[in-house]
Structures are given as structure tokens and as C-alpha cells.
Amino acid sequence: MFEALWGWPPPILDPAGPYAEKVTVLAWVLIALAVIVTLIVCAALYVAIKGPAPLKRRLGGESAIWIGGIAFPGVVLTALLIWGLTLTADLTSDITGDEPRIRVTGEMWWFRVQYLDPAGRVVMEDANEIHLPVGQPVVLELRSADVIHNFWVPHLSGKKDMVPGRTNLLRVQADKSGQFGGVCAEYCGGPHALMGFVAIAHTPADYARWQQGRMARLATANTSAGPGRQLFMASGCGACHRVAGTEANGLAGPDLTHVGTRATLGAGILPNHRGTLMGWIGDSQGIKPGNRMPSYDMLSAAELTAIARWLEQQQ
Amino acid sequence: MDEPLDFERGAPFINRIDWFTAIAALAVWFAHFMAVWCASVIWPDQAAGRIVGVALTIAAFGALYWLRRRAGKPPLHNVAGLGLAIAAVAIAFSCVPALIG
Amino acid sequence: MKSETGFDHALYDRFPTTRPRPEGELAELEQIWCAPKGWEYLKAVNNNYIGFIYVVTALCFFLAAGILSLGMRVQLAAPMLDFLPQDTYNQFFTMHGTVMMFLFAVPMVEAIGVMLLPQMLAARDLPFPRLSAYAFWAYAVGGGFFFCSLFIGLAPDGGWFMYPPLTSLQYSPGINTDMWLLGIGFIEISAIAGAVEIIVGVLRTRAPGMTLDRMPIFVWAMLAFAVMILIAFPSVILCTLLLELERAFNWPFFDPTRGGDPMLWQHLFWFFGHPEVYIIFLPAAGLMSMMVSTIAQTPLVGYRLNVLAIVATAFISFGVWAHHMFATGMPRVSTGYFSAASMAVSLPAGIQVFCWIATLAAGKLRWSTPALFIVGAVLIFTMGGLTGVMVGMVPFDWQVHDTYFVVAHFHYVLIGGMVFPVFGAFYYWAGMTSRKPLSETLGRWTFWLMFAGLHITFLPMHLTGFMGMPRRVYTYLPDRGLDLLNMISTAGSFVMAAGVLVFLIDCARNFRFTTQNDAGNIYNAGTLEWLPTGLYSTRSIPLVRGRNPLWEQPDLAKEVEDGRYFLPGSITGLRETLITSPINAEPQYVQLMPGPSPWPLASAVFTAGIFLALTVQAYAFSAVSCVFMLWATLRWLWETDRPIRLKEGDIGGGIVLPITITGRHSHSWWALNATLVVIAMIALMALFGYLYLYGIHPEVWIAPPALLQTAGIAALLLLAFGAAWLSRILLARSALGEFPGQGPWMSAAAGAVLVTLALYWDVTGWLGAGLQPTATGQGATVFALLAHQGMCVVTGIIMAAYLGWRSGRGLLTGPANVTLDVVARWIGYCAVQGLVASLVMRLFPGG
């Protein structure tokens, strides 16, 4: 499943929702135009250099410049401009207000995700993963906690910057279920290259089930137990990471309440299983140099296994 | 010594007014562009911004018309005429977003 | 032809003259323009030397930045490599972009201009040779030190456009960022100095009869290039200063928590950044136009369309800057305007491409290395321009922005639109400065390797971007479909490097620098730079009757060499050139040109010292450098503006003209005008910053000081303006050569004192009203404008003191004097700038 997030066909030409699909059509037309014009220029160059005399004469006057350099491009560019303006308006048409809202905040170098209720209050926290219902537009509130980041899931829509001091709104919609890869597309220093996320689209029924499951989980006390829990708290992980229902309530790092169900780790760069969990905790600096979590290389393999086992239970 | 080249038959443009007209026409484009952009930032996605944009476009075309009269209605193959034509096309492009989208 | 200045065109019929030239005239000319020996090369100011070493230095930076890109490509050849660790790669890509854009591209075309323009215009040199020397040395020293920051791991790593808040002190605490801000900010001084000189050179030193309509296209392109630099570069100078102020003194321009905005940087930077790429492209397009005409052996088709296309590109390129910001969340209609202008700006470029194709069709192409580079450039640039139209469409840009698609686009336009024409130009114009031409065989190898390498490297990147690979990543994950594409690009980069290597081998084997017996006009071009020249340029300055004088007048070369035209020798025994009118190139006066001098080099070295010391926070060293720089600059100026023995002279054919003049027609007046445009643009961009931040965060604005105080400051500034004006009037009262006493100087000095007082009052007034520069966006921008005014005022005080020194020595003689004109106009300008800035900030209804 992890491998299906990216790869062939190119995501920009493989839309999974209306916002991306309209742009894919535009992309194909632009590609075709570019190829045609390149061929025309090649042909013109060939005629100019080696062509028969009457053709060369036609090409060798000012009228060729007027037609080839002004009239033809003028018409094409006007048509493209009008299409581009109407498409832009279409893709950003007014938010009605009753779409599901998710606040995504870019941090160095991960994505903080907060699901909002219609009144704008945070009802669920997560990280590096967003869940959407198929067939419905979702509004993302994009913010930044530090520098300029960018949110981009090419299968679903174009990208938008996350600028500190402002909230940018982005509409996305998936028309088929699946997992789609996303990245930060604005250089944010350090391991910007390893800052990604996953967008997961569910059928409406599955989405409802997922939501209910999560809310139910948050409503009950966190009774997960084991040596991993004590190790987790004793190692100080709770100072940065929050796990709802426990004494761990740090806000500096990703929320780990639901980390067991997450598709990826390390902000979209590793598949999520026990091995990668252990590897990340033990040596995150080796995997993603410069990230804000220190490597816990003082923990033994047994301790890492225990913590990983406990984290797997956080669903 | 000073024969015009074949496609340049017509008044040789030795006057300052020809160069001034071409530069001024493009400067009108630039002023128009900055003004419509400022209007779109002061009234973001509001009708007032578009209305101001259209009004500015009319003013810009008026300025081009005045420049053309001042230069003695130069023909197209003259530098002044070419400059006015290019500026007119550029202003036309620049006003489309106020009308569409 | 109607006369522009009253010059009688019938006088042109006297040329070519028929009487034999006096003996020893040529020998005297050669002696006056003699070549330097040994250490004297460091003092050289002649464009033949400065231009050449400028080109070589720019080429060295190209090679250095190219090697960085090879390192980057090796790191990206396969996923998760560790050839360049993260921090190193981030420094590499930042330096690759920065060095290519600031230390190679603009300086290279400026250098080619320095080398070629005087020859194309048949002028003896550029109008301010020592200024070109200063500009070159500042660039070479500053650029060299800046590049060396890589070797100590302190190279900037924020990307070549250095967006805050990533580059603010909090997220970039090291001095790497300061290296960029201070280093690059200072190198821009060099580009601006060159631009001032090119404008005055192109408009005032053309050969008589070379009307604007007969100028070579490259000259037109350089004129547009220089004017664009004057308008665009102040924006980047300002924003680098603002970020440095924020980092050093905590003035919150870009900090949203205190009323600043990170987007302000982007607007200011891209207002410079987009015209910058056209600044790079237009001169190369000008070179293309000239080479196309020669290789097709026919005059350029659509000359006027081409000229208007260049001018239109120059204007319209200033209206597209925010197409780099489509994804930032701008209002939708705003994005539409920038998209429309981006569509519009490609029209003039298309006109130029079809001009070239039409010219090739109208003539008969003779294949040669330059011809290969021309045809290749047309194709590559067209492809790049088309992807440019694609990314100008907002919804498409939202998908490909900040991906490798954009990387592909701009490499195609930059390599096709600038690198290929420049390499073609190396082969084409090598015959002007080398005893042997470059090799046609090696040239073809160079071309085909570079052409193939370019496509192998960058064509796959369009697809790489579509596959979702973002820019500026030091590695990528496996199984994303990126492996093969990146490997191909890496292979291509080495093919391209091989082509450049072949070029270097060709130069090593064949290029032999000379100023006297060059290889000549091997491609049979028709423009004036191919006249037989020595260090004095042409023996006599020809009368131009058409666009391709060497084709239209086959005897021209011989006649020029025999001295049958203007200025066949030296009238005063000093270096001279002819100043002509801007539109019709009618002769106006003879300009005396300076000879070799060590002061520009000294001044450049100390200027570099100021900025580089600030970078490493060695403030004392910086202050000392500043003192030395001022001393070197004033020492340099001290030799200028001297009374001359001869007031007029015969420039040939019995035509008598003044020798140097003062006033609004003098070339120094024009140079000051150009400089004032730069200063005014900095102030204007700062005002834009003030208004922009108000628009974003009006809630932090406080009320201005009392209206009475504002009126008082305005009164002081008006008085200052009057005092400056009065100084010129007082001098005008005295007769030619008469010393009028200290009146004029003291009036100018009074003006300087008054603007200082007004500024002091302004600053204390704001502080008294409760505004602190560290507090809010308002504070930061108000004090930034006051600081800019302060820099101008301090310069005015130094100028007034210098003027006083000259006056004390009796060198300020009537009725007009260049030094007084410069100082008085500068102080008058300070008064006007201060007035506008103060009134806007104090009367703005925001508090």
C-alpha cells in the first residue's frame, strides 16, 4: 500500500478528484500545444536554412514575423488566458461553509493535523496524515508554526503555501478511495526533502465508521498498558508527544494518540511497522538528519520493542 | 545617404516625439498594470476592485489616444505607431482578469 | 534629416577627408593610449583590458557554479545517497543558483558589453573608464570572497532567493545568511555602476550619424538591460538591507507577530527577480540578432519590430513578478493580472524568434560554430519559452510550482537564451581579441556535447516534476519512480560538462589575447566593431550612414585607418572621445578621458572590505575599511574636473567643437540622473514596503507626530533645496574661469546642514511620538526610510566637505562647474526625497 502512494503514472496526469482532473486536462492541452509549436519552429528553421526558394522568400519577410510572432501567438495566448482565468475561478469558488474542515499546520519538518467541528473547535489531533470522505470537498486551513511550508497532494489538487501569520484555504476532493502521497513543496531548510504526508480517502460509509471509531477511542479512557507505557513516560517522550488519555501531553512533536493506525512514520517517509518504529525512535537522526527529535540510542533493543509494542496499540 | 529601407517608406522618425511616444505608451501600460493590481489587493475578490480596474483601463486607452494625437497619428511601421500598438495589446491583456474569472 | 541639436548635416559631406594626415599624429595617438606593462595592468582602465578580464572572471564563476551542479547531480543520481550530506547539499544548491545568477549571468553580459560596446559605437572607450575598473574589481574581490565561504562551510543555505522566516535569525542563526545579504548586496553596486555607464555610453558616445534607428541590436539590448538594472536592482538592494536590519537589529519587517509579513520579502525580491532574468536574456538576444545577421549574410529582417520587442519586453517584464507567488494565497484576481502579463510578455520574445528565423530565410546560412550555437539556441529557448507559457497559467502552476518541471523550464530558457548565445559569441567575437581564431572542429564538439548534454539533463526533468519531485531536495525516496529519471539527468550533466571542457581546451590551445593584431572579421560581419583597431579603438571615428556600415561602405575600413574621419588624432594630447546627441548622434563636444589609475582598485578593495568585515561582525575592521574607501574615492575624484587649457578644437573636416562642457548636456549630468534614479527607486520600494505592511497589519499603526512639527521639517527641507539651487546660481554669476569666492560652496554646505537638521528632527520626532524601530512593522519601515535618507544625507555632507576643500583650493571656477553641479543636485535631491518620504509617513491616515 505504501508503494502505491507514488510512482507511475505521474500523479499530475493521474487525477483522483475534480480539482486535479480539470488541471490534468489543461496540462495535456498545454503539452500538446508546446509540442506542436516546437515542431512548427523546427520546421520553420529547416525551411529557413535548407528550404526551397519560394518558401524561403515567404518566410524571409516581415509578414512572417507578424503572423508567426504576433498574430498566431496572440490568438492562442488570449484563448489560454481566458481558459486559465475561468478555471482558476472554478477551482477557488466560494467556500460554502459546511464542508468538513481540517487544519494542517506546517512545522519543521512534519504536518500537524487537527480536525475541526463546524464551530471551528479542534475535536481530533493527528499528524502527517489526513482522512477524507470520497465525493465531498474538504476545506483545509493551512498554517505554519515557523517558516514557509507548502502542502501538496498532486493526485487531488494543486499546492498552496503555508505562511506564518496567515491562514490559506485549500479545497481538495477525492472521487475514488485510496491512499495518495503528499509532500512539502517549499524549501524549509534541513531535511525538507523528507517532509511528506499521506491523504487517505474513504467511501462515505467507511469514513463514517473511521470517524466514529476515532471519536469513540477519544471518549474512553486510555487503558493500554505494558512496560512500553512506563518506558515511554520515563524516557520523557511525553514532553513533546501527546497521547490522549495519558499524562503525556507535549505539543512540540506529532500527536501519537492514533500512531498505531498511521500509514507512515517520520512524516511520510517510512512505512509504519514495528521495525520502523524501533528504528525511528532509536536513530531518527540517522534517518532524517536535523529533525527535532533526538536519537534514543541509549535504549536497548528490548526497550525499543516494548515502546513500539505499546505505540502500536495507540489506535 | 538617408534613404529609408523598403518597408520603412513613410516619414523617417527622427523626431524625439516618436521615441517619446513609444516609451510613454509602454509607461501607460505599466501605470495601468500597477494600478489595477493595487485595486485587486485593496479590494480582494470584491466587485469594487473589478470596477476600478475597468475604469482604469478606459483611462489608459484614453491616455494612448491622447498620445497618438499628440504624435500626429503615426502609422504602424513607425516607431511611435508600433509602440502604441504593443501597449494597446498589453493593456487589453491586462484588463481581461477584471472582466473574466 | 532634421537636426536634433542645430548641427548642420551638410558638414557631413566633408567626410571622408582628402588631405593627408600630419606625420606623427598616429604615433602620438598610440603613445597616449599605450599598453600597460607589468604591475601597470592593475591600474588599467581601458575597456580592452577591463572588458576581457571581466569576461574571464565571469567565465570562472560559471565553471565554479557548474562544478557545484555536478556535485548536486552526483548526490541525486540515486535515492538516499550520502555523497553530499544534507547541510552541504543545501549550501551547494544555494550557491549554484546565487553564483550563476549574480556572479555569472549578469556580469558576463555586462562584461561583453564593456568589451564590445565602445567598438560597436566606434567610441574610444566607455565614458567612465575608471568606474568600469572599480565595478570590475569590486565584483572580482567581493565575488571571490563570497565563493570562498563554501570552503569554510559558511556558505548561505536558504536557496538563491532566501525567503524569510527561514533566513531570519531564529531559523538561520549562523553568519551564512549574512554572507549572502552583505556579499550579494555589495556586488549589486558593481552592476549598477556598469549600468549607469552603459546608458551614458550608448546614448552619448555613438559615432556621428549612428542614429537610434541605425544602432546595432546588441546596443539596443544593452540600453534596455541598463535601464532595467536601474529600476530592478534597487529592489533587491533594499530587501537585503531590510533582512540584514532585521537580523542585526531586530527590526521586524518580515515577522508577522509584530506587524511584519514574510510576503513583503517575496514582493520586493521578485520585483527584482523577474526583470533580472530578462536583464540576463535581452543582451544575449541582442548578440543573437547580430550573429544571425552575419551568418545569414543579410541585414536583420524586422529591425524595428525587434527593437520595439526589446523595449516592450523591458517594460512588461516588470509586471509579472508575482507569477513566482501564485501558490502563496494571493487574491484570485491579482493572480489573474500576473498571469495576463506573463502571457503578454511572451509575445515580444516570439517576435524576436521569428525575426531570427526570417533573417535566416532571407539570407544564406553559412555553417560555422556560431551558426550551430545560434540555431541550437533558437530551439532551446523556444522550448523553454513554451514551458514558461505553461507555468504562466495559474492552475497548471499550482501543480508544477516548486517541482523539477520549473527547474527544467528555467534551465531551458537560461541556457538557450543566454549560455548558448554567449558561447556562440565567444567563437564569433574571439577574432576581435585573439591572434588566432578558436577551432571550428573543437567548436563543433563543444556545441554537440553541450546541446546533447542539455537535453539529456533537463528534458527528463519535465517528467520528474510531473512525478512529484519537489525542488531543493538533497535526496529522494526509492520507489517513487524517480530513480531512472534522475540517473539520466546526472549522466547528461556530465555530457554537458564535457562540452565545456572541450571549450576550455580549445581556448588553451588557440586563444591568444591581443589588442593589436587580432584574427579579424572571419565571419564577414557588417558592424563597426570589426574596423581595424588598436588600444585607441579606431584611428578615426567614422561617419555612419546605415545599419551595417562595413557592408554598405566597402572602403570604410581603409578610410578609417587613414584618419579620414572624426578625431584622427588627439587634440589636447590626452585621451579623448566624441560625445554625440542621443537620438541623431550629432557631434556635440569632445570628452577628455582618464588614463590608468590605481584608485579605482583601491576603492573597490576597501569597499569589499567594509561589507565582508560586516559579514563576520568585525565592526572595527569595517569602519577602518570605510575610512580608507572614502579616502581612495576622494583621491580618485580629486584628479577629475580640472581646468583645461584648450576650450575647443577641430574634430576633423574643420568642424570645431567645445572640449568638455558642463550643464544639462554633459555626460556627467546624465550619469548623476541615472544614479538618482537608483536612489529614488530604493526610497520608492521602501515606501511600498511601508504601505504594504499597513495593508496587512493596520492594527499596529500609531498616530504620527504633531502636524506643526511636520510643517517645520518640510520648511527646513524646502530651505535646503533652495540653498542647493542658490549655489549654482551664485556660481553662474562669475565669468568664465573666474573664482567667485566661497559663496557657492557655502550655500551648498548650508543645504547639507539643513537636510541633516531636518532628518535629526524627523527621527527624534518619531521617537518622541512613541515609535520604536524594533516594535512594529510601522516602526521598522519608518526608520528604514529614515535610515536611507540618513545614508543620502551623510553622503551629501561628505560631498559638501569635499566641495569645500576644492573651493578652498580655488578650483571652483565659474560660470558652471561639474563638481558643484553634482553636489548641489545631490543635496537638492536629498531635500526632495526627504520631503516626499516624511510627508507620506506623517500625513498617512493610519494611526
3-state secondary structure chain B: CCCCCHHHCCCCCCCHHHHHHHHHHHHHHHHHHHHHHHHHHHCCCCHHHHHHHHHHHHHHHHHHHHHHHHCCCCCCCCHHHHHHHHHHHHHHHHHHHHHCC
DSSP C212: G
Which tens digits make up the pLDDT trace of B46-95? 999 999 999 999 999 999 999 999 988 888 888 899 999 999 999 999 99
Q: In angstroms, rounded to a whole number, what is the distance separating the alpha carbons of residues C565 and C18?
A: 10
Q: Which residues on B lie below 8 Å from A89 (Cβ)?
A: 101
How far is the C-alpha of A192 from the C-alpha of C471, rounded, in Å? 10
pLDDT at res. B14: 54
Inter-chain residue contact B100 with A85, CB threshold 8 Å: yes
DSSP C216-272: -HHHHHHHHHHHHHHHHHHHHHHHHHHHHHHHHH---SS-GGGT--HHHHHHHHHHH
Q: What is the ipTM of this complex?
A: 0.97
Q: How far apart are CA C541 and CA C565, in angstroms?
A: 6
Chain B stretch 55-74, residues whose beta carbon is closer than 8 A to a beta carbon of chain C? none
- In this structure, which amino acid lies at residue C339? S
In a mutagenesis test of the C interface, which of B14, B15, B64 is the best target, namely the one with the most C β-carbons within 10 Å?
Answer: B14
Give how far A44 is from chain C: nearest CA, Å: 7
Tell me how many degrees the CA angle C402-C404-C406 measures, rounded to the nearest 5.
65
For C413, residues 6+ apart whose C-beta sits below 8 A from its C-beta are C277, C281, C381, C384, C385, C388
Alpha-carbon distance A304 to A281, whole Å? Answer: 7
Is A85's CB within 8 Å of B96's CB? yes
pLDDT in tens, C74-114: 999 999 999 999 999 999 999 999 999 999 999 999 999 99
Which of A5, A29, A65, A85 best tests the C interface by mutation, with the highest count of C CBs <10 A? A65
Residue A12's pLDDT is 95
B27 phi and psi angles, rounded to 5 deg: -65, -35
- Say whether A271 sits in a helix, a strand or coil: strand
For C451-501, what is each residue's pLDDT tens digit?
999 999 999 999 999 999 999 999 999 989 999 999 999 999 999 999 999
Distance CA C717, CA C830 (A): 9
Mutate to test the interface with C, among B3, B18, B26 (most CBs of C within 10 A): B26
Give the dihedral sign, CA C293/C297/C301/C303. Answer: positive
- Measure the CA–CA gap between C13 and C477, rounded to whole angstroms: 75
pLDDT above 50: residue B13:
no
Q: B40 to chain C: which residues are within 8 Å by CB?
A: 331, 333-334, 336-337
**Which residues of chain B neighbour A77 with C-beta distances below 8 Å?**
93
Q: How many Å lie between the alpha carbon of A81 and the closest alpha carbon of chain B?
A: 8
Interface probe for C, chosen from A26, A56, A62, A170 (most Cβ of C below 10 Å), is A62
The answer to whether A20 touches A5, Cβ cutoff 8 Å, is: no
Q: Which phi and psi (to 5°) does residue A283 adopt? A: -150, 55
Interface of C with B in 538-567 (CB under 8 A): 545
Give strand ranges (E) for C109-161.
Answer: none
Q: Which cell numbers in the block locate residue A123? A: 475535536
Dump the DSSP string for C647-695: SEEE-STT-EEEBS--STTSHHHHHHHHHHHHHHHHHHHHHHHHHHHHH
Interface contact B14-C339, CB threshold 8 A: no
Span A277-288, mean pLDDT? Answer: 96
The answer to whether the CB of C542 falls within 8 A of the CB of C207 is yes
B90:C312 CB<8 A? yes
- CA dist A148 and A139 (Å) reads 20
Express each pLDDT in A78-109 by its tens digit.
999 999 999 999 998 877 778 899 999 999 99
DSSP per residue, C286-329: HHHHHHHHHHTTSPPTTHHHHHHHHHHHHHHGGG-GGGG-GGG-
Q: pLDDT > 70: what percent of chain C?
A: 100
Binary contact (A85, B89; C-beta < 8 A):
no
Count of CB atoms within 10 A of residue C641's CB? 19
What type of residue is A80? L
For residue C833, what are the CA distances in angstroms to C305, C680, C830? Answer: 38, 7, 5
What is the reported pTM?
Answer: 0.96
CB contact under 8 A, B29 and C316: yes
| Residue C484: CB atoms within 10 Å | 11
- For residue C388, the distance in angstroms to the closest alpha carbon of chain A comes to 10
For residue B96, the chain A residue with the least C-alpha distance is A82
Cα separation of the two ends of chain C: 59
Cell, residue C840:
507620506
Mean pLDDT of B20-47: 94
The whole-angstrom separation of Cα A216 and Cα A214 is 5
Contact call for residues C260 and C195 (beta carbons, < 8 A): no
Chain centroid to Cα C107, Å, comes to: 7
**Residues in CB range of A123: below 8 A, 6 or more apart:** A115, A116, A117, A215
The 10s digit of each residue's pLDDT in C374-383 is 999 999 999 9
Q: In what order do the strands lie in the sheet with A178-183?
A: A129-133, A196-202, A178-183
Query: Using CA of residue C598, residue C600, residue C602, residue C604, what is the dihedral sign?
Result: negative
A34 and C385 in contact (C-beta within 8 Å)? no
Residues of B in contact with C348 (CB under 8 A): 86
Size of interface A-B (CB pairs under 8 A): 18
Matching residue, cell 557631413 = C12
Closest listed residue to residue C607, CA positions, set C196, C134, C242, C245: C134
Q: What is the pLDDT of residue B3?
A: 42
Instruction: Report DSSP letters for C149-175, one per residue.
Output: GGGGT----STTTT-TTTTSTTT--ST
Residue with cell 559615432: C207
